[in-house]
Amino acid sequence: MSRNTLSRRSFFTTSGALIAGASFAGPFTVNRAFAEDKPIMIGLTSDASGQYANSGASDRRGMLMAIDEFNANGGVLGRKIETIHIDTETTPATGSRVAERMISREKCGFLVGAVSSGVANAISQVAQKYGVIYLNTNSSSPSESGENCHRVKFVWDGNGTNFAKAAVRNSINQFGNKWLLLTNDYVWGHDTSAATRKLVEEYGGEIIDEILVPQGTRDFSAALLSIQGAKPDVVAAAVGGDDQKALRQQVAQLGMGESPAWINNQQDWPDVYGLPLDNLFGVFGTTWYYKLDLPGVAEFVQRYQAAYPDTSMRVPGNVFYNGYMATRELLGAIERAGTTNNIAVIKQLEGLKMSAKDRMQTYDAYINPDTHQVQQTIYLATANTGTEDKDDMFKILTASSPDEVLDTAADSACKLESYEDTPTFDA
Amino acid sequence: MISLSDISPRSGAWITPQIVVFTVMLLTAPFWLSAVGLYQYLGIEVAIWMIYALGFNLLFGYAGLHSFGHGAYIGVGAYAFGLFQHHVAVSLWGGLLAAIVAAGIAGLLVGALVSHRRGVYFALLTIAWGQVFWFSAIKLHGITGGEDGLLNIPRPPLDLGFARIDLNDNEALYYFAAGALLLTVILLWRIAHAPFGRILQAVRQSETRAAFVGYEVWHFKWAAFVASALLAGLAGGLFAMAQQSAYPDIMSLHQSGLIVMMVLIGGGLVSFWGPVLGVILYFVARDVLGIMTETWLLWYGLMFVVMVMFRPEGIAGALHLVRKRFSSRDGAASSARVEPI
Amino acid sequence: MSTLVPHLFNGLILGLLFALIALGFTLIVGVMEVINLAHGSLFALGAYFALTIIGVGWFDDTAFGQWWLSLPVTPRYTLGLVFGSLLAGLIGMLLELCLRPTHGKAPLYGLLLTFGAALVIEETIRVVWGTGEQSLPLPDAINGAVLLGGMIFAKYKLFAAAFAVVAIGAVWLFLERTPYGAIIKAGAHDSEMVRALGYDLSKLRMLVFGFGSALAGLAGIVMVPIWGMRPHLGVDVVIPAFLIIVLGGVGSFWGAVIAAILVGLAVGLTGAYAPAWAMMSMYILLIAVVTFRARGLFGRKSVLEQ
């Protein structure tokens, strides 16, 4: 009996030693050794696997390019910027855990990055708990700046309502007023479709049906058959990521791209780059395009190509752009605040005005201090059939100013935590 | 292959030296966690998963019922806790009770339907039920928040009458979880050495024989199922508190499979403490190796496959054999080998 | 109800494709009495092997690569179809070797091992081919849409269904009309006797496992243009496969085929009325069947019930 007891005790000492050894053994991707000043730690919470893996990678490239540019100029407030990236796997539970780790173990003062709104919500909840500023670069559910807004969170993408406002009225006039909603069954899908529904009804249209497709759907045959049967004038699709790729493929296969008319809300560049052009049916929205005839765009594209010569995506799109812009403005805000105190930086970002030239967009942009969302130009586009250039896939139809596409519901839905309720610290 | 009845000592003492050592390590953890490169939140996760795994092993190791869909019960516990906080009252004990009861009811219902089966049919039924719960959690997004989960779950304070301890700090929550874990360990240790535990092992070894001896076998299988679901519910409630949210992900087949792997690799098939070792190994691997390489899960899976092939006794079994090799004195008492069934 | 007919048709096609998936599964279960939870991953693996053979992304830089990619899609696709499945079969044989140490023990160890193997294969796919959605290039002849009774259907689905019918027929012919098939069936019935008659049982087992896995890979290559292609594709496949053979009865060939069609119809029809719950109908069906009639519609008692 005593022998067994001893053996059990030794299990624990052995295991304890093994664990301690294992933990010390590995070199970590973050180098904390040598900075005269403590470096600024930024956590990159982008998805590297799952439905949004491609967009996540683009997002991260944008963030890294902005950070590299600042580091080349001596960092921020004289401190070098360091990053750590952990894959959030397009899963909210993982996002929550990653945020906890980045804040408590890696001592990240800022978190940047999101494509999936589910993940973004999970991360921002944790970030708000500690007061860590979180930039939601690319997730565009209207609730991000509505009921899920937080004092520490800033949203850099146009949301479903903005895009719907840009698209709906024109489409009713052009195509007809019998609409059908095709909705990805999660937050972004629901909120976007709800926004579309409200707008359609406001402008005199009628929603004849709504079809829900789970995330991770590849077989749209049942949904497409139902659409064929219902014969709407317009189908408003709120389907994202890889699901959207599959949808596009199947709609193209069935030759359904022309009739009914398709409104695809926002179209992320990584989701369509490289697809055959007939997959790019319908009208869709974007916040930026690499061939906009605006100052600074061409040079920006060149910088991208110089920084990332090996990626298969030869030109950047809106996801990269949002990641870059958000990070750049954050670092700029820290410089202007003169401190990394989170409340001071938040105050710099609230109400921030960014010129059109700075943003490489058609209109000036600004951050709404009550919802923390960037109000920016919204472009509507369709497939560009008039060129041999495989990269030049979009034909920009219209550009709407931020005020034309304002998400008016957000102001009342959003209740930011007060400054007092937000823990304050210096990163 | 050695089995659970071989390693466990004959004594039914309430507190054994092993438990003392474990307690000490657990209670001092906040002091040495950062020194070994880990962090407090991970400690909470590990404590919670130990509760989950130990309860699961009652079913997996002791009763020999391989459930691949157990994520359903920890998930139900988490959602129940959250929904209680949102719709009934912000209360710690209320929430945990709701979590335990909800998971217990789920275990009761599913257990009633699966306990008549064994072997592969049992396993696959549990997978199917696990998927049903997972799907439901995703589809019923009016109640559960769907894929985006149930957010804004508060951490209610611990109200002891004379003192009110705020659990918002990770360290405080850790101690609370550790306390729950210790109670679980003591409870399960008693159960495993009570006649109930022995009967479960008898059922594992041969249902026919157990029936001949006079036991209503499926009652015991059902009871083991419910017991493991109750503990999973407790773990789920604590997890909802730690994350301050509840997601359907934990009910997925992938996650349910992970708990099986953790428990087997740790040695749950042969040792009471196997699940504890398995949980530690998994979380350390995930956080340490996972940062260095994206392929860590591949290596973990390979390790599992190799273990099933050659050493299903897991780490605990291997350590036991190593220990035996070094103690060359009479190996009579506890090293009797039992032939595989 | 004219809206019902297209959904029924859709369900029928899905059922035939499910039958193809279940074929490999039922062969392994019937002969080897091992539930191969890695069947889904082998299904995915076959498709990824085919992707590489057709030439997407790998050796674009070499001279050979350039020449290969300049060939029309059809021969590349055919080779991909054939060799992709053969490679999947090879991996299956490797898996069988790994299963050998578990032979004497309870069948649960085989289950655990194939479960672990499924994870390993999936992670390997993720590491080697990446997590993003990919797509298989298809010959133009089977790509595109066709008008049937006023409704648009994808040509590819009809091709896939036809292919499934042919494949099912071929497997049946093999089992019933060739001496090898007879040996396999005998091995399922009484392995002792087969060994006594002088056949190498372990070689037989390995070949059957390989054959079953190759069928899984083949099913994968045929299904991915419909289901999409990502590393975790396998998860959606194993449960329907198991459901089908339990429903149809373990070890029963035609039981599996009929059950597959029933399951396909069930999924197709729920897809019409409650699309969000379509996939779950399979699980509910499994629960109902196993709870109330564990031997399914045509099954015999097997060691799985132990």
Q: What is the pLDDT of residues A141-172, one digit of tens each?
A: 888 888 889 999 999 999 888 888 888 877 88
Cβ within 8 Å, pair C123-B298: yes
Q: Which two tokens stand for residue C189?
A: 């019935």
Which residue from A49, A212, A221 is facing C10, i.e. has the nearest CB? A221
Q: Is the pLDDT of residue A33 over 60?
A: no
**Best mutation target, A5, A9, A15, to test chain B (most B CBs within 10 A):** A15
- To the nearest whole Å, the CA of C79 is away from the closest chain B CA by 29
Looking at the 3D structure of chain C, how many domains does it have? 1
Q: What percent of chain B has a predicted confidence (pLDDT) above 70?
A: 92
Q: E strand or H helix at C230, and its extent?
A: none
- Could you tell me the pLDDT band of residue B335, with boundaries at 50, 70 and 90? very low
| Local confidence pLDDT in tens for the 306 residues of chain C | 456 777 787 788 778 888 877 878 877 876 666 788 899 899 999 999 999 888 766 666 677 777 777 788 888 888 889 999 999 999 999 999 998 888 777 777 888 898 899 989 988 998 888 777 777 888 877 777 677 776 667 778 788 888 889 988 998 898 888 888 888 777 666 667 777 888 787 888 888 889 889 988 998 998 888 777 878 788 778 878 888 887 777 667 788 888 899 888 888 788 767 766 777 887 888 788 777 765 555 555 554 554
Q: Which two tokens stand for residue B106?
A: 């789920």
Q: What pLDDT, on the 0 to 100 scale, is given for residue A27? A: 40
- Please answer whether residues B232 and B100 qualify as being in contact, where contact means their C-beta atoms are separated by less than 8 angstroms: no
Q: What is the pLDDT of residue A111?
A: 95
Is A105 an interface residue toward B (CB < 8 Å)?
A: yes
Interface residue A242 vs chain C (CB under 8 A): yes
Counting Cα atoms < 13 Å in the Cβ hemisphere of C154 gives: 25
* Interface residue of C133, C140, C155 to substitute, partner A, most A CBs within 10 Å: C133
A-chain residues near C230 (CB < 8 A):
242
B139 touches chain A (CB under 8 A): yes
C292 in contact with chain B, both atoms CB, cutoff 8 A: no
Using a CB–CB cutoff of 8 Å, tell me whether C35 touches chain B.
Answer: yes
Q: Residue B331: is its pLDDT beyond 70?
A: no
Tell me how many residue pairs between chain B and chain C have CB atoms under 8 A apart.
Answer: 113
What is the distance in angstroms between the Cα of B59 and the nearest Cα belonging to chain A?
A: 23
Nearest chain B residue to C99 by CA: give it: B309
- In angstroms, the Cα distances linking B26 to A97, B96, B180 are 21, 21, 11
Residues 44-103 of C with CB under 8 A from B: 98, 101-102
Over residues B37-66, the mean pLDDT reads 93
Domains A37-158+293-375+420-427 and A160-286 agree in fold: yes
Q: What is the ipTM of this complex?
A: 0.84
Nearest CA in chain A to C150: A228
Q: Which residues of B touch A29 (CB under 8 A)?
A: 291-292
Cβ atoms of C27 and C109 within 8 Å: the answer is no
Query: Taking a contact as any Cβ pair under 8 Å apart, which residues of chain A between 266 and 325 contact chain C?
Result: none
User: 3-state SS of chain B?
Assistant: CCCHHHHCCCCCCCCCHHHHHHHHHHHHHHHHCCCCCCCHHHHHHHHHHHHHHHHHHHHHHHCCCCCCCCHHHHHHHHHHHHHHHHHCCCCHHHHHHHHHHHHHHHHHHHHHHHCCCCHHHHHHHHHHHHHHHHHHHHHCHHHHCHHHCECCCCCCCEECCCCEECCCCHHHHHHHHHHHHHHHHHHHHHHHHCHHHHHHHHHHHCHHHHHHHCCCHHHHHHHHHHHHHHHHHHHHHHHHHHHCCECHHHHCHHHHHHHHHHHHHHCCCCCCCHHHHHHHHHHHHHHHHHHHCCCHHHHHHHHHHHHHHHCCCHHHHHHHHHHHHHCCCCCCCCCCCCCCC
Distance between CA B168 and CA A125 in Å, rounded? Answer: 13
Place of tokens 């052995």: A14
Instruction: Name the residue in chain A with its Cα closest to that of C229.
Output: A218
Residue pLDDT, tens place only, A327-341: 999 999 999 999 999
Answer yes or no: do C107 and B119 touch at CB < 8 A: yes
* C109 with B312: Cβ contact below 8 A: yes
Please enumerate in sequence order all residues whose Cβ is within 8 A of that of C151, keeping only pairs 6 or more positions apart, or say none: A225, A228, C6
* Contacts of residue C137, Cβ cutoff 8 Å, sequence gap at least 6: C54, C56, C73, C76, C77
The predicted model scores a pTM of: 0.86
- For chain B, the straight-line distance linking the first and the last C-alpha, in angstroms and rounded, comes to 9
**Rounded to 5 degrees, what angle do the CA atoms A366, A372, A373 make?**
60
Q: Is B139 on the interface with C (CB under 8 A)?
A: yes
The percent of residues above 90 in pLDDT, for chain A, comes to 43
Chain C residue nearest residue B205, CA to CA: C106
Q: C294: how many CB neighbours lie within 10 A of its CB?
A: 17
pLDDT digits (tens, 9 = 90+) for B205-229: 888 999 999 989 999 999 999 999 9
Provide the β-strand partners of residue A284.
A381
Domain ranges of chain A: 37-158+293-375+420-427, 160-286
The C residues from 66 to 125 touching A (CB cutoff 8 Å) are none
- Could you give the CA distance from residue B132 to residue B122 in angstroms, rounded to a whole number? 15
- Asked if A4 lies within 8 A of B151 by C-beta distance, the reply is no
Q: Which residue, among C290, C292, C302, C303, would best test binding to B if mutated, counting the most B CBs under 10 Å from its CB?
A: C290
Give CA–CA dist C292/A413, Å, rounded: 50
Q: Which of C105, C279, C280 sits opposite B340 (nearest CB)?
A: C105
| Interchain CB contact of A10 with B (< 8 Å) | yes
Contacts of C304 in chain B (CB under 8 A): 119-121
Residue B281 is predicted with a pLDDT of: 93
pLDDT reported for residue B305: 93
pLDDT at A304 over 70: yes
CATH assignment of A37-158+293-375+420-427, given 3.40.50.2300, 3.40.220.10, 3.30.70.2700, 3.90.190.20? 3.40.50.2300
pLDDT at residue B334, as a whole number: 44
- What's the mean pLDDT in A339-362? 92
Residue C304 lies in a domain: no
Chain B residues in contact with A124 by the CB 8 A cut-off are none
- CA pseudo-torsion sign C25, C31, C32, C33: positive
pLDDT tens track for B251-274: 998 899 999 999 999 999 888 999
- Residue B333, Cβ density class (10 Å: 0-12 exposed, 13-18 middle, ≥19 buried): exposed
CATH architecture of structural domain A160-286: 3-Layer(aba) Sandwich (3.40)
Overall average pLDDT of the A28-43 stretch: 62
Q: pLDDT by residue (tens digit) across A87-112? A: 888 888 889 999 999 998 899 999 99
Range in A25-34, A391-400, B240-249 with the lowest mean pLDDT: A25-34
Query: Which residues in chain A are closer than 8 Å to C272, comparing Cβ atoms?
Result: 222, 225-226
Long-range contacts of B179-184 (CB under 8 A, 24+ apart): B180/B47, B180/B51, B180/B234, B180/B238, B181/B26, B181/B47, B181/B48, B181/B50, B181/B51, B182/B19, B182/B22, B182/B23, B182/B26, B184/B50, B184/B51, B184/B54, B184/B55, B184/B231, B184/B234
Whose structure tokens read 């058959």?
A: A225
Strand order in the sheet with A234-238: A206-213, A178-184, A234-238, A261-266, A283-286, A378-383, A394-400
